[in-house]
Structure 1
Amino acid sequence: MIQGSQGATALVGMAGFVVGVQELVEGEWWLYVETSADFVGCSACGTRAVGHGRVRSVVRDLPISGRATVLVFARRRWRCPEPACAVTTWSEQVDQISARVSITKRARQRLAAMVNVEGMSIAAAAAEFGVGWHTANRAVAEFTDPVIKDPGRLDGVASIGVDEKRFLNATADHRTTFTTQVLDLDRHRVLDVLEGRSRDVLGDWLTDRGDTWCAGITLATLDPAAGYRAALVEHLPNATLVVDHFHAVKLANTAIDDVRRRVQHATLGHRGRKGDPLYRARRVLLTGFERLTEERITWMLDMLAAGDPDGEVGAAVLAKELLREVYAAVDHAHAQRRLTAFFQHCADADVAELVRLARTIDRWRDEILSYHRTGRASNGRVENAHMLAEKIRRNAHGFTNHTNYRRRLIGRLGIQWTTVPTRRIRGRQPHLIA
């Protein structure tokens, strides 16, 4: 089916182009287009150029009414008729269809939006436009990298969260590699994804931000990592550091598991098995008491009585609850008293794992108590970003290139893109609807 259409020119909506012929080829619209320019001057001498033939370019464009669209662009070649002019021939240049491209500019922009705004993978977005993965990745980089590099993206940040995230699992060729993610806690945006996890990695990033930016940070949440703390203390003079309840209680839960495994092996001589009391109760031991029913608590105590002859596992469970009560305190002074009770319990229990736990908590005493001085600041938004980052990684079937990984995370989780919302055509739903 071949036909000319002036309406197709308006439908395509590309300024400076006209559609001469439209053809439906295997379910796709093929539009034969050319520019509307009929007068072009030589860029060197200004003489009116004359035609010198055409070169066809076949490029993908935005779909029309759900149909994939291909533009067949008859690119004009021009020649300067002035013999003395140094310029001989040239091809016309248009913004939407650059030379040697396979997809129009507005289609590349739409492809980038499908990845950054809608969360599609590069491969899925590339398939939508019938282009290769590398072409789609370059399109995403074209419209994402300038925004990432814009220094204004980091303006107005007053509180940050810092945490590590596993990037690549260990293989025969390399060890497990990690990244450091920095988040804006107030706006819930990923500020950057740094390669590595150390004091130097975070410190160099903060140095690049400058003294003025660092002086404006008043709150920083982190996990109990000495390297991160050293970098934050060195570069953020006005920030209050906070270790939230998630990471502190995680240390206590680790201590419970360590005690349970040791007692299990000492009493039964093997690792936990399905019928062993401590192994059966392993999940309940890590659960907060307020979330357990009375029957479940009684069952847990029976398991401890059967598998914990010296009460060491029970002491570890109680230490975990005492540490949780520190974070549940009503104010800073109340938290200090509950932290003293925690230390006293760990000392009286005389369990090696609890002594180690108490020493770790003591090293982070100020950061833990700051939880109550900062309105219960939490690293929860950083953990949420980890979950979303893992979703992006699964959707992409994994990453091996840190540059692509960083671009995808910041493009999806770190930038507030300007989008036109879809509005309802009715204010209210009709009561009687078929």
Structure 2
Amino acid sequence: MAHTTCPGPPAGGFDPVDPDRLLGLDVLGLAATGQKIIDSGGRQVLWVQCRPVLEAGDERLFCACCGAMGRRKGTDARILAHAPTCGRVTRLLVRVPELTCQHCRRVWRVDMTSAAEPRGLLTHGAVQWALEAVAVDNMAISRVAARLAVSWDTANDAVMVAGLEALGPLEERLKGVRVLGVDEHVWRHRGHQRYVTVLIDLTPVRQGTGPARLVDMIPGRSKTALVSWLADRDPHWRGQIEIVAMDGFTGFKSAAAEQLPTATTVMDPFHVVSLAGDALDETRRRVQQATTGRRGTTKDALYTARRTLLTEIDLLTVRQGQRLEELFADERNTPVEVAWDVYQTMIDAYRHKDRTQGKRLMNRLIDSIASGVPAGIEEVTRLGRTLNRRKDDILAYFDHPGSSNGPTEAINGRLEHLRGIAQGFRNLTHYITRSLIHTGGLRHRLTT
């Protein structure tokens, strides 16, 4: 039986153990002097002092008012929550030197801002740990608060402030944006639905340099909301936007045309195909009612084929293909066959290896259903009118590879996951900040 062997020490041997470095105290300007486990749950308290010890000439010895040298009066104690150590809740009992001025009698404590914010309850190390737990590990604020043994509000406030500081101001986040994605998002689970407009930087996706990232969220979903946000931006920045990818909402189209006249608007393929899929579904349900006088059941061919109808033709199994042939053999289902053919032709146009040929195919499709749909298929007729109005935006996709709003939908999916972690949001400010922390590129920044 083979025996495992322990690898030898690295070249040069191991460095001496430095407990302050292991605990992350050295970067805080602190040094540990003792440790005690205080309960059966494994909570520990570390006795620490300022590092280095005050020496002659240290500027912290001199009064900020008169400049006279102070003398040691005593020691004050400050309790701080630190990042968990080996799974243990960790508290720091900091012995802060207290000084008094020999001239003006002013009393002060040694500056501790290298370890924690004034009057703060968390060390900088604890705040950094909490931010990484939320942004990288998708940990709920309640779990972060439990690991640090602080209140929810304390943990949440620390993460919000640190997250916004790490993300930087909006002007910094907007630098380099050339392709802008716009979409709406429902941010509240319970009660009335509330919408926000999300703005995504799609430039890295188009350039192949990285993932898309959220840059901002606007309360509401309307032309007015987007126009107001764009009008507040620097005119030079607006002039640099080359492409705006969006869904079929006309409010976004109007706002982009008004505030970004030099940008090309692109209607996302997902939403275009979704419109065709909706028309196919509506046609199927109408024909079902017309032929049977009721909604579909598992015994009805139209109902059982509802998923098959929305499957790309190249992905159909032999059994599914036979099911569609049997379905279309019935002349009563001709409207469904027409809508299905439009749906499949649209997918073929987007899937075409040659974008020029795909564009021609899409152009012919839009022209044909805008004027040549047989009577009695009002769903496809309405679809033709919609596509014809946005024809330029739809065809623009073929001229601008990488301008899909797909990454925007992916970010929307991550925001849905965020709502699940938080079990819903009631505070819009918190939701926007947490969304930026999760999908604003902070995860990539913290892990590299």
Q: TM exceeds 0.5?
A: yes
Cα pair 2:223 2:255 within 8 Å, conserved: yes
Q: Which residue of 1 aligns with 2:164?
A: 145
Amino acid corresponding to residue 181 of structure 1 in structure 2: V
Q: 2:64 is matched with which residue?
A: 43
Question: Do the aligned residues in 2 keep the contact of 1:244 with 1:378 (CA within 8 Å)?
Answer: yes
Match of 1:134 in 2: 153
Q: Deviations over 1:163-186 (max 9, x none)?
A: 111112462xxx321111111112
Instruction: Rate the CA distance shift 1:268–1:337 in 2: closer, same or farther, 3 A.
Output: closer
Determine helix, strand or coil for the equivalent of 1:163.
strand
In the alignment, what sits opposite 1:154? 174
Cα distance per residue 1:381-421 (max 9 Å; x no partner):
11111111111221222222221111112112113454465
1:368 aligns with 2:387: no
Q: Which moved more, 1:23-32 or 1:238-247?
A: 23-32
Change (3 A) 1:99 1:414: closer
Aligned AA (1:370) = A
The answer on 1:205 being equivalent to 2:229 is yes
Label 1:349 to 1:372 Cα distance change in 2 as closer, same or farther (>3 A): farther
- The amino acid of 1:186's aligned partner reads T
How much does 1:117 deviate?
2.8
Q: What is the alpha-carbon distance in structure 2 between the residues aligned to residue 10 and residue 297 of structure 1?
A: 66
SS at match of 2:203: coil
8 Å CA contact retained: 2:189, 2:424: no
Alpha-carbon distance in structure 2 between the residues aligned to 1:324 and 1:110: 46
Query: Does the 8 Å contact 1:80/1:88 carry over to 2?
Result: yes
TM-score where L is the length of structure 1:
0.86
Deviation per CA, 1:5-60: give whole Å up to 9, x if none. Answer: x9645543245433332223332332112222256222111222233443322211
Q: Which residue in the other structure is 1:183 paired with?
A: 200
User: Partner of 1:28 in structure 2?
Assistant: 43
SS in 2 for 1:119: coil
CA distance in 2, matches of 1:57, 1:369: 65
Tell me the distance in 1 between the aligned counterparts of 2:386 and 2:43. 65
- C-alpha deviation, 1:363, in angstroms: 0.6
Q: Does 1:232 align with 2:256?
A: yes
Pick which of 70-79 and 191-200 moved more.
Answer: 70-79
Does 1:339 pair with 2:366? Answer: yes
Aligned to 2:378: 352
**1:90, 1:339 → 2: CA distance?**
77
Range with bigger deviation, 9-18 or 152-161:
9-18
Question: Structure 1 residue 160: deviation in Å?
Answer: 1.1
- C-alpha deviation, 1:234, in angstroms: 1.1
Residue 165 of structure 1 aligns to a residue whose secondary structure is: strand
Opposite residue 162 of structure 2, the aligned amino acid is: F
Tell me the secondary structure at the aligned position of residue 172 of structure 2. Answer: helix
Separation in 2, partners of 1:404, 1:106: 22
Q: Deviations over 1:60-102 (max 9, x none)?
A: 11333444321111233332233xx3x6323333111344332
Q: What TM-score results when the alignment is normalised by the length of structure 2?
A: 0.84
| Residues 264 and 58 of structure 1: CA distance in aligned 2, closer, same or farther (over 3 Å) | same
Q: Which structure 2 residue ranges, 5 or more long, are not aligned?
A: 1-16, 205-211
Indicate the residue corresponding to 1:72 in structure 2. 93
Deviates more, 1:14-23 or 1:28-37: 14-23
**SS at 1:118 equivalent:** coil
1:250 paired to 2:287:
no
Read off the aligned partner of 1:17 and give its amino acid letter: L
Alignment match, 1:94: 112
Q: Give the one of 251, 263, 267 matched to 2:287.
A: 263
- Post-superposition CA distance 1:147-199 (Å, at most 9, x none): 3425222111111111111112462xxx3211111111122111112211111
Task: Give the residue type in structure 2 aligned to 1:73.
Answer: V
Equivalent residue pairs, number: 408
2:6 maps to which residue? none
Q: Percent identity?
A: 31
Q: How does 1:401-420 map to 2 (within 5 A)?
A: 401-416=427-442, 417-419=444-446
> Residue 70 of structure 1 aligns to a residue in which SS?
strand
Given that 1:30 and 1:72 are in contact with CA atoms closer than 8 Å, whether structure 2 keeps it comes out as yes
Aligned AA for 2:62? G
CA distance in 1, matches of 2:333, 2:89: 72
